[in-house]
Structure 1
Amino acid sequence: MAKTFMDPHDVPTISGTEGWERMYPYQYQFSMEDPARAKFESDQIWYYDGLHYPEPHYPFDLIWDEAWFLALSQYNSRIFMVPPAMGIDHRIVNGYVYISPVGIPDPNEVGKRVPLFMERAGYYYQNWDTLFGKWKKKVTTLIEQLEAVSFPDLPEMEETSVVFEGKGFSSGYEFLKRYDDLINMGLLNWQYHFEFLNLGYAAYVTFINTTNQIFPGIPISTLTKMVSGIDVIMYRPDAELIRLARLAIDVGVDDLILKTSKAREAMDELAKHPAGKEWLAEMEKARYPWFYISTGTGWYHTHISWNDNLDIPFDSIRMHIKSIKEGKDVGRPTENLIKERDRIVDEYRKLIKTDEDREAFEQGLAVSRTVFPYVEDHLFYIEHWFHSIFWAKIRQIGSVLQNAGFIENADTDIWFMKRDEIKQALWDYVTAWATGVKPRGPSYWPKEIAWRKETYEKFRGWKPPPALGVPPDVVTEPFTIVLWGVTTDVLSEWLKGGEEGEGEQNTIQGSPGSSGIVEGRARVLKNVQELSDLQEGEILVATTTSPSWAPAFVKIGGAVTDVGGPMCHAAIVCREYGLPTVVGTGKATHLIKTGDLIKIDGDSGLVTILERAK
């Protein structure tokens, strides 16, 4: 078995994509120009961030990776002074992002950071609810400011107020400033994202480590159950769909919704009836903000929200109507989760032998439960609500550039430009307006974007290696383990590479996501639009899941994902629905086919293919 992965500098360029590097920031490239930096890159472990990015990156969409590259790292290294961790470094290869945790090599430096971390993080833990309340206000205010941004056409002649009120600047300057404001809002949004998140995960990791010391070998699936059953805002969108499904039955318009296949058709039919109008009014109340939920993770512009395509929530409402009329329970089995959670905690409490251990256990549990809502709630505010509106604003700019002839299609082309390239194009557009001459953009960008589109499609056909570089003897970085699910054992599995023929491999080792064992036929899904194919009791197999998939959790028997650790979204949500789940398998969607009979063990992380589909 190999002891290292491919050196990151040795990854071959895909034929026909030569020059792809200009699509992305220069600092994201692996490079041999600086020997010291090159050695650092070769000696590090770099793993593919498939948790957030199951597809190659559009140049503009890299903005969120840039944003969290800065935000997560600074909170670790410069703000909260996390003792053993600096930041997470990023690179891009053939359109795919690879990341590497950066530790602190000097143990003495780690010790010096401990009291600083205790003081700074302690303040947040002690004042969590108050600070979280301020956080919500900051984020919702930012969203209001985002909604107010617009990009009107530049006038043929400025209004007289520019002269007679001594305004002092033009519409062209204002246009450029608004773009800067828009980008800065996006980056500020991600500064807010990590204000609490590192501390939230740190609380989990501390609780896990403390409990492992008291109860050596305790399964992580048992630990995660101890903080389940807590209501969070991320479940509200699906709760609104369930409410609308029940209301449709109560007011007698359920058949109108069930007999139509498109949202527009259903809404037109409902508008003809008094009860239908009542239902539509309730749906409008639910839409803002709860339909600002992405159809994916929210990281790509292609992950549109329910508000962008109402067919998606209507499909889920139909699914819920059918389930309710069949007498099934819909939604999360919260009461059962709480009972099971409390039973497990009480049993372990009785086993604690010392007052010191008891105090450490209780304190760790209390802090973990306190931080739990933020760990999920921030997703709705940041990746879903804010991002959905942000993408719409960028599409407005795309329309401006299309009308000016810089790009051919506002919906598809602007995403192939980096954010600073868009700013350059807008300068070209505005200075051409100011001087009355023809801009260069219409003769430059269409050809460049056409080449980038071809390059991107070639990226899609490439399978990124799970890791590059040199693995550590032991993976200790906490977020790497609990969020991405990259452990020492996982790296060992990856290093085995192709020793087993993929078509013949019938066991897959992942990480425990949610406790329990289940057998069932697999349903491999790539996106939310395929949820309607799910059959009752099937096991969902996907690269990852998103909140838009929540209606499926009332139908499936369990779930398997390619990426993620015990604190990733798929693991958390499946625990809340009481579904056995295995995450971080690395290759389940490649090895498992729809119709295969599989068995998953959410306690050991083992997936077994019992019978291949004919």
Structure 2
Amino acid sequence: DLPEFEDEEIVFKHLGLSKSSFTLYDNFHKLVMLHFRLWQKHFEMLNLGYAAYLTFYMFCKEKFPGIPDQHIARMVAGIESILFRPDQECRRLARLAVDLGLKDVFLKKLGYEKTIQELEKSSNGKKWIEELEKIKYPWFYYATGAGFFHTEPRWIDNMDIPFSFISDYVEKITRGEEIELPTEKLRKEREELANQYKSLLKDPADVKTFEENLQLARTVFPYVEDHNFYIEHWGHTIWYKKVRNIAEILVNHGIIKEINDIFYINWHELSQILYDLCANWAVGVDTVAQYNWPEEVRRRKEIIEVVKQNRPPPALGKPPEVITEPFTIMLWGVTKDRIQQWLSGATAAAEKKLVGLPASPGIVEGPARVVLTAEEIVKVKEGEILVAPITAPSWNPVFLKIKATVTDIGGIMSHTAIVCREYGLPAVVGTGFATKTIKDGQRIRVDGTEGVVEILD
């Protein structure tokens, strides 16, 4: 915060710059630029992954007319992604707890603080805690949602979240259940599928191109998921902490009432607020910002609350004649046919049948669990089918509980699609109305091969 007086050395040593006000103002702008730099890296990694996959995708579409998108995606499945590492660490810690004879502590599901207290009573418990401390940074710098928003709790700030997953894994191990991903099985299947398609090529040059494009896609494609951890989760966790440090200063000077009020002010406005604060501090008077910003923040909060009451439809208006932008298609599943389907969604809902994109193969039936927010993910029970607007990377531990996933939005390269393929779960994405049509507990059938969801109740 700004002190009552500047250090004397600023004057007596002729430093010329205020260590307090100048540093505060300068650091704020560095923080803004850091966010821009983070997102340059975001798109660099994302676009590399998509470009490599798109090259392979377009080659396959040209040489194998009628090849399902899902087959192309399955040929690059079985990836190793940094984004899966937090979940891997939870599973590793669960296995370690069992190996050290600590399973009974975790089966009590006491939460983070009480579990740590119990573990500290034994030497093996202390060994386990040492392992936990080694991996908390960076692997628990992980948001409960997609990582974009300041409202999403981070594992590192609420350790009850990863501890609930660890306890669930201990329980699974105790029951003799498998907690590892079927990566080797997927790799075997992808080789069989790739060889089947490669055998259809007669020109040696085409075979060479197929092999090169496939290898490139498999090498670079993990970036599509990896960037999520580096930027949205690890990067944003640290970045939001720094923003809240600035918010503490604004609270101390009466400019905002609560720490998170800072997120109702854009960075251009914050720059002006901090400039005025520093200038007024320099001459020993209160900042004028304290007289108008508390009321303005209150007004903006009210607007947001009203907007939150309404969930927009997946599509409005007249669809374009053609959609060719590949990222829009692959990531979000937005095509002309899909938009038209969304616009006529009421008819599909009345028929108790939803059609989406077949994202991961398989057919299962089970009770639905509708999850609209990250906070609701804890409600998911063993054997349920997850129905959500879209899924988040930090939900990965839940994918070992569920039987399938259905989402409102998403394409063949959406996070939901990628993770379900890696976890061996059927998935239908881009249904448009799943969360509005399907109710908690309803029995549904998910056909991830054809992209159809039926309500059986």
TM-score range, shorter chain: over 0.9
Q: 1:337-348 maps to which residues of 2 (within 5 A)?
A: 337-348=186-197
User: How far does residue 497 in structure 1 lie from its aligned partner after superposition?
Assistant: 5.3
Which of residues 261, 265, 270 is equivalent to 2:119? Answer: 270
* Equivalent residue, structure 1, for 2:329: 481
Which of residues 248, 258, 268 is equivalent to 2:97? Answer: 248
* Residue identity in the other structure for 1:404: H
Q: Distance in 1 between matches of 2:45 and 2:291?
A: 46
Q: Does 1:204 align with 2:53?
A: yes
Does the Cα contact within 8 Å between 2:144 and 2:153 map onto a contact in 1? yes
Q: Distance in 2 between matches of 1:473 and 1:313?
A: 46
Report SS of the residue matched to 1:541.
Answer: strand
Q: Distance in 2 between matches of 1:329 and 1:495?
A: 42
Q: Distance in 2 between matches of 1:231 and 1:200?
A: 13
Q: Does 1:279 align with 2:116?
A: no
Q: Which moved more, 1:262-271 or 1:476-485?
A: 262-271
User: How far does residue 496 in structure 1 lie from its aligned partner after superposition?
Assistant: 2.2
Does the Cα contact within 8 Å between 1:207 and 1:361 map onto a contact in 2? yes
* Equivalent residue, structure 2, for 1:140: none
Does the Cα contact within 8 Å between 2:345 and 2:432 map onto a contact in 1? no
Q: Does 1:425 align with 2:258?
A: no
* Equivalent residue, structure 2, for 1:547: 393
* Equivalent residue, structure 1, for 2:379: 533
User: How far does residue 441 in structure 1 lie from its aligned partner after superposition?
Assistant: 1.6
* Residue identity in the other structure for 1:486: V
Report SS of the residue matched to 1:228.
Answer: coil
Q: Distance in 2 between matches of 1:509 and 1:366?
A: 33
Superposed CA offset, 1:430-486 (max 9, x none): 122111112112220111111111110110012224334542222211001000110
Q: Which runs of 5+ in 2 are unaligned?
A: none
| Residues 1:516 and 1:497: Cα distance change in structure 2 (over 3 Å) | closer
Q: Which moved more, 1:526-535 or 1:238-247?
A: 526-535
User: How far does residue 359 in structure 1 lie from its aligned partner after superposition?
Assistant: 2.5
Does the Cα contact within 8 Å between 1:514 and 1:602 map onto a contact in 2? yes
Which of residues 202, 217, 223 is equivalent to 1:368? Answer: 217
* Residue identity in the other structure for 1:496: S
Over the aligned positions, Cα root-mean-square deviation in angstroms equals 1.6
Q: Distance in 2 between matches of 1:451 and 1:405?
A: 17
Q: 1:29-40 maps to which residues of 2 (within 5 A)?
A: none
* Equivalent residue, structure 2, for 1:141: none
Superposed CA offset, 1:233-264 (max 9, x none): 11111110001111111112222222243211
Q: Does 1:586 align with 2:432?
A: yes
Q: Does 1:299 align with 2:148?
A: yes
Q: Distance in 1 between matches of 2:177 and 2:13?
A: 66
Does the Cα contact within 8 Å between 2:50 and 2:221 map onto a contact in 1? no
Q: Does 1:443 align with 2:291?
A: yes
* Residue identity in the other structure for 2:454: T
Q: Distance in 1 between matches of 2:432 and 2:52?
A: 27
User: How far does residue 202 in structure 1 lie from its aligned partner after superposition?
Assistant: 2.1
Q: Distance in 1 between matches of 2:137 and 2:359?
A: 32
TM-score by length of 1: 0.72
User: How far does residue 501 in structure 1 lie from its aligned partner after superposition?
Assistant: 7.8
Does the Cα contact within 8 Å between 2:404 and 2:426 map onto a contact in 1? yes
Q: Distance in 2 between matches of 1:261 and 1:591?
A: 36
Does the Cα contact within 8 Å between 1:483 and 1:565 map onto a contact in 2? yes
Q: Distance in 1 between matches of 2:292 and 2:104?
A: 54
Report SS of the residue matched to 1:444.
Answer: helix
Identical amino acids, percent of aligned pairs: 48
Report SS of the residue matched to 2:177.
Answer: coil
Report SS of the residue matched to 1:307.
Answer: helix
* Equivalent residue, structure 1, for 2:252: 403
Q: Distance in 1 between matches of 2:47 and 2:375?
A: 33
Report SS of the residue matched to 1:467.
Answer: coil
Q: Distance in 2 between matches of 1:290 and 1:190?
A: 20
* Equivalent residue, structure 2, for 1:15: none
Q: Distance in 1 between matches of 2:281 and 2:232?
A: 35
Q: Distance in 2 between matches of 1:440 and 1:158?
A: 21
Report SS of the residue matched to 1:193.
Answer: helix
Q: Which runs of 5+ in 1 are unaligned?
A: 1-152
User: How far does residue 389 in structure 1 lie from its aligned partner after superposition?
Assistant: 0.7
TM-score by length of 2: 0.96
Q: Distance in 2 between matches of 1:553 and 1:426?
A: 45
* Equivalent residue, structure 2, for 1:377: 226
* Equivalent residue, structure 2, for 1:131: none
User: How far does residue 603 in structure 1 lie from its aligned partner after superposition?
Assistant: 2.1
User: How far does residue 418 in structure 1 lie from its aligned partner after superposition?
Assistant: 1.0
Q: 1:45-84 maps to which residues of 2 (within 5 A)?
A: none
Which of residues 420, 433, 453 is equivalent to 1:607? Answer: 453
Which of residues 339, 356, 365 is equivalent to 1:491? Answer: 339
| Residues 1:372 and 1:449: Cα distance change in structure 2 (over 3 Å) | same
Q: Distance in 2 between matches of 1:196 and 1:239?
A: 22
Q: 1:111-150 maps to which residues of 2 (within 5 A)?
A: none
Which of residues 507, 510, 513 is equivalent to 2:356? Answer: 510
